Amino acid sequence: GYNRLHILEIKLRTMTDMYRPPRVSEAKLTAYPHEERGQENGRAHDPVKFLQAAEQRARERQVAYETVRILRKDVIECYRKEGVNHYDKCKDVCEKYYNVVIKKDVGQVHPDWADKAKHDGW
């Protein structure tokens, strides 16, 4: 099990991580092509492409959520840094956050669906 010293080391490691510059991944993922269910009984023409397209939509959704999380963190940091002057100093950061949050599905990139009404939102 964990002893108190080990738990303290874990807490110190995570607390100091917030002062380090953010790490950026070098991985580049190519987008999978969009594939819809093509037949009347609900089966896809190509099941592999259909599953890859579903994975791509999940990726885009996660990117949108993480973008909002990062922008929200920027707003919080600005408020804490500027204190009572946050109304003036954090206006740009707040506008950037607001402009993303008010978008449909928080700015998630959607594929070009054949029937727009059927696939509106998640």
User: Tokens in use for 7?
Assistant: 């738990």
37: β partners: 44
Higher pLDDT among residues 15 and 47, named by residue? 47
Mean confidence (pLDDT) of the chain:
80
pLDDT band at residue 29 using 50, 70 and 90 as cut-offs: confident
Comparing C-alpha atoms, which of 63, 54, 58 is closest to residue 27? Answer: 63
Name 75's Cβ contacts closer than 8 Å, sequence gap at least 6.
90, 93, 94, 97
Could you tell me the end-to-end alpha-carbon distance of the chain, in angstroms, rounded to an integer? 42
Each residue's pLDDT tens digit, 63-120: 899 999 999 999 999 999 999 999 999 999 999 999 999 988 888 877 877 777 766 5
Q: Please name the residue ranges forming H helices in the chain.
A: 4-17, 47-82, 86-89, 91-101
Other C-beta atoms lying within 10 Å of the C-beta of residue 90: 20
pLDDT band at residue 33 using 50, 70 and 90 as cut-offs: confident
Q: What is the pLDDT of residue 56?
A: 87
